[in-house]
């Protein structure tokens, strides 16, 4: 369900409100009933359609409570499968991610909702919602119209689905986006805006009696206009049916009218007021045809009215519309024809057409949905524009050395601009087929796309020569009068009745000035009158009246029309003349405000206008009559009459070239048609094609695509119709200005219609059409790198070509080989190319042979056959030079240079690449600049490989400049990729690298390439971190963080939160660090990956652990976060690592009790790991904790345990250093703490041995000093004492010399 309750399929507008106004302010709403219970659509009054059967007494006012109007509404969407009617969760998630990407730069979304006449306030991407608001009633009117027609969901499809979605035709057919709005809020906002903008219209839901003299009495279902006049509890109300004005209680139950009705009744309804309009009760249906029985005797009346007796059978001519006053009927007794008042008849053998939704004739429907007559040659010409390719004349550049960014189709198939035979596209015209004049007005040329081609008729022509002397002779006018004096209508008369006055210059030629034509016709009128040429006289008077009305001489026109009316009134042999005469005279009466004369004539004119199918308009003034009838339909609540009037008004507006004014009526016609078809699943009218063309003309491309998507297949279920739609799609998409979109490309949305056309082409006798359709589809799919599908279609095209034998086989086979190359199938491509090469020697010239040789060289290169590739490339060069085609010469030289570069040749690559570059620079064609960029990049790579860095840099930068000059984003990206790699890996210039990465970032954002953007943001963040510019690094990190959040990339998001926290730590903003770390951990928890969560906790703790401040905060991340997760996952190594860090941390913080606890736990874990090294480290840390805890015996014991786990042979200097330090620590403990000199001496001797391995003189000096002290003061041994003293002195001398060495 979309929008208001009345906007849903099968539901008219009806939401009911009861309100009290005090001091001009709405402060109380008793009840708001939305039309949410309407499941049975039948054309009834708005209140009846809701099934309301309660009296208004049930709706008491209650106590006034102030009610605020909503300021916004919520629009939500859901991706559903139309066949199963269930939500497609995968596509829903894809659309959500796409919306998250667009949310950060929401200009595309804002532009879309601006096109839909809504104002975007915010986006709730994770909840699949948009928050919208409206400032005027017109905005709500347009938006709800688009909502009700299903355009909003279709527009969101173009926004939220990527290009690959549109290439899957079966998916496109089955998937739709269904949208919903908050109906109550939208309804209340609508009411609020209506109250602000002045008088508005409602329908009364119950009889209102007159209580006071100034009150007004109103019947149920009356339409009224309400106006706030400042009285507390009453409106000023004016009945539209009786024109009575008085006061109406605010509490009266009323239905607020749909916005279209509000607009029409304010702007177009005028002030025409007839008799009270009531629904005809004896005709239960609104429209029908057949026979009726007269219920009264009717013998008196005007000449054009039928006389009949009671019980007489009357055949209805055309339609009977029950809410009109008159119908046109023919007496089955007398055979006479005339107007009959509908109230004087009752149905007999009466076929009701409303049940079959036939408010238009078949011909009228066809005028809405039919394209021009299918033309086989036109189809061929259109397909040629889709299949144009230079594949058989222009060489292809081998790009396998460069990263493929842009689709190779850009250098491959170049679709040229449309030829003169390109299918025109414009607004749709509304004209009927049989006996209906064509629209030749210059204003309506844009509508000819939808107008059936006219039949070629032999039209009589009459020359007007006022200078001819024989004009006084009546015989001069005989041919004209003889032609005009026919009683019956003939097709040649149609020019007299059309809007464009086409009889001037065609039937009547020789003069162009209207004064001369008037003079000539006046003379012909006198002759016709004199010789009693009754029909010629009346038709000439009609033409004179039309010409006078055109010149705004309405009084004179009235005279002529009344004169003609006296001649033909009561005769119905030429209904076109009678209709035109009645309608024009009624229009003139309305212009001259002659209400007494106009009322009856307007009613009869309305019958002729609406009840006779395929009406031919003759005056723009007929709009005034249609406005009156549409107002009558609204008052009578007759939706079928309303639909027929909207059809005629749409048709008339298009014929006079006023498409802007036609649009509301065409939209309303489609809205009504959709509602009619909601129950039977048959939509009687489909004007979506016309709406699409009109939106396209108004530069509303999203709406144009949406309307085109909703056009029923039956409306254009032909080969030509499908091709016409594809062409319209290309025209529309070209206006969307998507980044990177090239006008020569076929948009993906056209795939649906091209495939429909291909399925319809099987029945076409001309197989060229079928072949070209497959070629166009292959061309489309290869543009978007869907090479498998492209190969399938091109293979079908090749198979058909074999049967045709028109010379197109070479081009198609060559394209097929190129597709295989693009799909990395060089073996198949080589087979095709070799067969082409054999055939081209006899049947094709040097251009074709050169193309094959060049492509074969690329294929052989991919196969690794470089020698054979070089031979073919040389053949291609010679063929290009023979033909003198510079472009081919440049490509061939470039390909040869690239091949020799692969062969590691020293000089040839430079020679051929420079030759190619020189040729390119001599050519003025800007479209070749992308190829020039490729050559420069290849040449730059050659120089870099040879160590010529400066030459390489110049070529890379020149490539970037040319790409920027040509405004080619993809070529710029290629050049930037090479430059960034060059400065980063070759020159190691990070500053210059940063500049190019920043430009690359800007291009990625233009292309909406989020993956590349995130990579570059990450690189820039780390670059600035290395520059110590943490603020800029933080900015890039936060940009990436937004992307990760939008795309739901929780792993990356958690890492970005962590990095941002680290940057804040480096910036010394400690109050934010823990906040960001916690956000990182919470995001990681959403992944439910315990290892990842543990890693994040440990990394957060490491930042504090390794930092200069607030180290104690690391404990919570280690102990409360990482350690439990390590245990849950059974990661013993991680748990051991964490306990070691906790031990060290608590030692640094002098928390020895906790350090001892963690050290013991680490030892226990290390034993279970089976790693001797980890066990050794754990025992060493435990010994250190005991040492700091002054438990020296335990410390000695665990130091020795750690030493026992060491290898027996020293394996490195670092290991010897470890031994020395441990033995020194043991010596100090035993000497000073345990008072065991002998053990101390032993430890010091072992330390001395380890120090000797290191050969560190300072360490040796320190140990010798300690040993000399022991042997002097603790263990008296003069010899050893003297020995170590002498060594110490020698070492001291050497140290002194080293210290003071100049």
**What are 180's two structure tokens?**
């919903």
Strand partners, 305: 339
* 718 compared with 459, residue with greater pLDDT: 718
d(CA 313, CA 1167): 113
> Phi first, then psi: what are they for 119, rounded to 5°?
-110, 120
Extended beta strands in 788-915, E state: none
pLDDT in tens, 686-732: 888 889 989 998 999 999 999 999 887 655 567 888 888 888 888 89
Contact 896, 877 (CB under 8 A): yes
Contact 714, 697 (CB under 8 A): no
pLDDT in tens, 219-237: 888 888 888 887 778 888 8
d(CA 251, CA 90): 50
Question: Count of CB atoms within 10 A of residue 44's CB?
Answer: 16
pLDDT greater than 50 at residue 1087: yes
Distances in Å between the Cα of 980 and the Cα atoms of 193, 944, 956, 997 are 57, 13, 10, 7
Average pLDDT of 199-217?
86
Contact 336, 330 (CB under 8 A): yes
d(CA 412, CA 397): 9
Average pLDDT of 825-845?
84
Closest CA to 261 of 227, 229, 235, 223: 223
pLDDT in tens, 363-385: 776 666 545 555 667 777 778 88
pLDDT of residue 420: 30
Average pLDDT of 450-473?
59
Question: Count of CB atoms within 10 A of residue 519's CB?
Answer: 15
Length of the chain: 1302
pLDDT greater than 50 at residue 45: no
d(CA 468, CA 465): 5
d(CA 380, CA 774): 13
% the chain with pLDDT above 70: 84
**What are 1164's two structure tokens?**
């226990």
Average pLDDT of 1170-1183?
88
Burial of 709 by CB count in 10 Å (0-12 exposed, 13-18 middle, 19+ buried)? buried
d(CA 1132, CA 1123): 10
Q: Considering only 112-121, 204-213, 398-407, 950-959, which range has the smallest mean pLDDT?
A: 398-407
pLDDT of residue 713: 62
Average pLDDT of 1032-1057?
90
pLDDT greater than 90 at residue 1054: yes
d(CA 1278, CA 377): 123
pLDDT of residue 415: 29
Residue linked to tokens 């008219």: 12
Confidence label for 10 from pLDDT (cuts 50, 70 and 90): very low
**Sign of the CA dihedral running 965, 969, 974, 978:** positive
pLDDT greater than 80 at residue 427: no
Confidence label for 737 from pLDDT (cuts 50, 70 and 90): low
HSE-CB at 203 with a 13 A cutoff on CA atoms is 21
Contact 449, 372 (CB under 8 A): yes
Average pLDDT of 155-177?
91
Contact 34, 23 (CB under 8 A): no
* 393 compared with 13, residue with greater pLDDT: 393
**Sign of the CA dihedral running 246, 249, 250, 252:** negative
pLDDT of residue 54: 30
pLDDT of residue 1093: 92
d(CA 249, CA 247): 7
pLDDT greater than 50 at residue 1288: yes
pLDDT of residue 791: 94
Question: Count of CB atoms within 10 A of residue 769's CB?
Answer: 23
* 359 compared with 99, residue with greater pLDDT: 99
Mean per-residue pLDDT of the chain: 81
Which helix (H) or strand (E) element contains residue 686? none
pLDDT of residue 841: 64
pLDDT greater than 60 at residue 356: no
Strands 287-294 and 313-316: antiparallel
pLDDT of residue 380: 75
């Amino acid at each position: 369900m979309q929008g208001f309750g009345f906007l849903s399929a099968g539901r008219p507008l009806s939401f009911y409100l009861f309100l009290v106004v005090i001091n001009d302010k709405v402060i109380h709403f008793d009840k708001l009933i939305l039309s949410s219970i309407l499941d049975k659509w039948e054309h009834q009054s708005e209140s009846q359609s809701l099934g309301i059967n309660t009296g208004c007494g049930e709706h008491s006012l209650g106590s006034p409570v102030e009610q605020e109007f909503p300021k916004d509404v919520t629009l939500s969407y859901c991706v559903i499968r139309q066949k199963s009617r269930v939500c497609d969760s995968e596509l829903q998630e894809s659309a959500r991610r796409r919306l998250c990407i667009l949310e950060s730069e929401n200009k595309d979304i804002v532009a879309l909702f601006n096109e839909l006449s809504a104002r975007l306030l915010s986006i709730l991407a994770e909840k699949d919602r948009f928050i919208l608001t409206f400032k005027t009633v017109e905005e709500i009117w347009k938006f709800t119209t688009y909502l009700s027609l299903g355009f909003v969901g279709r527009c969101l499809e173009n926004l939220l689905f990527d290009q690959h979605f549109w290439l899957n035709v079966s998916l496109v057919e089955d998937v739709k986006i269904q949208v919903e709005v908050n109906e109550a809020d939208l309804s209340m906002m609508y009411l609020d805006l209506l109250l602000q903008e002045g008088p508005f219209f409602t329908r009364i839901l119950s009889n209102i009696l007159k209580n006071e003299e100034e009150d007004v009495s109103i019947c149920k279902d009356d339409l009224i206009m309400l106006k706030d006049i400042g009285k507390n509890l009453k409106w000023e109300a004016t009945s539209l049916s009786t024109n009575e004005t008085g006061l109406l209680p605010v509490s009266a139950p009323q239905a607020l009218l749909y916005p279209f009705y509000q607009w029409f009744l304010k702007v177009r309804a005028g002030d025409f007021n007839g008799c009270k309009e009531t629904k005809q009760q004896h005709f239960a249906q609104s429209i029908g045809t057949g026979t009726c029985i007269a219920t009264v005797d009717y013998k008196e009346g005007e000449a054009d009215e039928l006389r009949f007796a009671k019980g007489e059978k009357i055949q209805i001519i055309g339609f009977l519309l029950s809410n009109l006053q008159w119908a046109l009927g023919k007496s089955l007794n007398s055979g006479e024809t005339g107007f009959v008042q509908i109230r004087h008849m009752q149905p007999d053998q009466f076929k009701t057409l409303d049940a079959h939704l036939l408010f238009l004739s078949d011909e009228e429907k066809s005028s809405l949905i039919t394209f021009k007559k299918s033309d086989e040659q036109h189809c061929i010409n259109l397909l040629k524009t889709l299949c144009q390719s230079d594949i058989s004349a222009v060489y292809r550049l081998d790009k396998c050395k460069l990263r493929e960014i842009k689709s190779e189709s850009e250098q491959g198939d170049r679709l040229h601009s449309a030829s003169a035979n390109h299918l025109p596209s414009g607004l749709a015209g509304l004209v009927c087929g049989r006996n209906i004049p064509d629209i030749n007005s210059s204003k309506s040329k844009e509508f000819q796309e939808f107008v059936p081609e006219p039949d070629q008729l032999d039209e009589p022509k009459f020359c007007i020569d006022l200078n001819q002397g024989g004009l006084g002779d009546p015989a001069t006018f005989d041919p004209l009068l003889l032609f005009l004096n026919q009683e019956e209508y003939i097709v040649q008369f149609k020019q007299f009745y059309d809007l464009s006055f086409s009889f001037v210059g065609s039937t009547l030629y020789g003069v162009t000035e209207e004064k001369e034509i008037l003079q000539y016709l006046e003379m012909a009128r006198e002759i016709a009158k004199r010789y009693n040429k009754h029909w010629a006289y009346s038709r000439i008077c009609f033409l004179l009246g039309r010409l006078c009305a055109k010149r705004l001489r309405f009084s004179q026109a009235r005279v002529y029309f009344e004169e003609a009316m006296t001649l033909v009134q009561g005769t119905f042999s030429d209904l076109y003349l009678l209709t035109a005469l009645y309608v024009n005279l009624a229009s003139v009466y309305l212009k001259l405000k002659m209400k007494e004369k106009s009322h009856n004539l307007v009613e009869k004119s309305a019958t002729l206008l609406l009840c006779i199918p395929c009406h031919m308009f003759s005056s723009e003034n007929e709009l005034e009559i249609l406005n009156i009838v549409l107002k009558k339909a609204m008052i009578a609540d007759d939706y079928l009459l309303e639909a027929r009037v909207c059809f005629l008004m749409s048709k008339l507006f298009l014929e006079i070239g006023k498409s802007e004014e036609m649009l509301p009526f065409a939209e309303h016609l489609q809205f009504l048609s959709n509602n009619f078809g909601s129950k039977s699943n048959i939509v009687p009218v489909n004007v979506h094609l016309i709406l699409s063309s009109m939106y396209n003309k108004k530069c509303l491309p999203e709406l144009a695509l949406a309307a085109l998507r909703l056009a029923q297949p039956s409306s254009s279920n032909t080969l030509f119709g499908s091709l016409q739609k594809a062409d319209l799609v290309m025209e529309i998409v070209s206006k969307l200005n998507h980044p990177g979109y090239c006008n020569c490309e076929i948009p993906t949305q056209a795939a649906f219609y091209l495939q429909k056309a291909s399925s319809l082409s099987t029945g076409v006798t001309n197989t060229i059409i079928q072949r070209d359709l497959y070629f166009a589809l292959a061309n489309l799919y290869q543009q978007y790198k869907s090479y498998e599908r492209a190969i399938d279609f091109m293979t079908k095209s090749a198979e058909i070509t074999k049967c045709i034998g028109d010379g197109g086989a070479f081009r198609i086979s060559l394209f097929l080989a190129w597709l295989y190359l693009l799909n990395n199938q060089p073996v198949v491509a080589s087979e095709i190319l070799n067969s082409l090469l054999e055939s081209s020697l006899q049947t094709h010239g040097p251009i074709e042979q050169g193309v094959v040789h060049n492509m074969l060289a690329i294929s052989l290169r991919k196969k690794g056959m470089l020698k054979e590739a070089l031979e073919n490339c040389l053949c291609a060069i010679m063929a290009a030079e023979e033909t003198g085609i510079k472009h081919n010469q440049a490509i061939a030289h470039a390909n040869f240079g690239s091949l020799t570069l692969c062969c590691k040749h020293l000089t040839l690559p430079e020679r051929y690449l420079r030759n190619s570059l020189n040729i390119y620079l001599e050519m003025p064609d800007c479209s070749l600049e992308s190829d020039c960029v490729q050559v420069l990049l290849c040449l730059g790579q050659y120089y870099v490989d040879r160590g010529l860095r400066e030459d390489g840099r110049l070529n890379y930068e020149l490539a970037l400049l040319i790409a920027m000059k040509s405004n080619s984003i993809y070529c710029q990206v290629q050049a930037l990729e090479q430059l960034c790699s060059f400065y980063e890996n070759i020159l190691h210039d990070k500053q210059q690298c940063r500049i190019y990465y920043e430009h690359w970032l800007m291009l990625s954002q233009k292309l909406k390439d989020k993956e590349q953007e995130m990579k570059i943001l990450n690189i820039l963040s780390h670059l600035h971190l290395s520059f110590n510019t943490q603020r800029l690094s933080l900015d890039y990190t936060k940009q990436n963080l937004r992307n990760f959040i939008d795309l739901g990339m929780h792993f990356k998001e958690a890492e970005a939160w962590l990095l941002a926290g680290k940057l804040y730590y480096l910036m010394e903003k400690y109050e934010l660090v823990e906040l960001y770390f916690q956000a990182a951990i919470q995001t990681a928890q959403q992944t439910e990956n315990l290892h990842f969560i543990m890693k994040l906790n440990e990394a957060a703790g490491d930042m504090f652990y390794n930092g200069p401040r607030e180290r104690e905060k690391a404990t919570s991340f280690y102990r409360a976060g990482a350690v439990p997760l390590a245990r849950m996952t059974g990661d013993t190594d991680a748990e051991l690592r964490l306990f070691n860090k906790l031990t060290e941390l608590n030692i640094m913080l002098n928390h020895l009790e906790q350090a001892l606890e963690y050290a013991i736990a680490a030892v226990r874990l290390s034993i279970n790991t089976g790693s001797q090294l980890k066990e050794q480290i754990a025992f060493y840390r435990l010994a250190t904790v005991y040492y700091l805890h002054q438990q020296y015996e335990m410390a000695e014991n665990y130091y020795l345990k750690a030493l026992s786990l060491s290898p027996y042979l020293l394996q490195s200097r670092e290991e010897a250093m470890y031994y020395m330090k441990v033995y020194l620590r043991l010596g100090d403990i035993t000497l000073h703490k345990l008072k065991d000199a002998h053990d101390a001496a032993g430890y010091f001797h072992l330390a001395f041995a380890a120090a000797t391995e290191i050969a560190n003189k300072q360490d040796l000096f320190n140990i010798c000093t300690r040993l000399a002290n022991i042997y002097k003061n603790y263990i008296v041994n003069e010899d050893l004492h003297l020995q170590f003293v002498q060594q110490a002195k020698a070492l001291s001398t050497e140290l002194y010399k080293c210290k003071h060495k100049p």
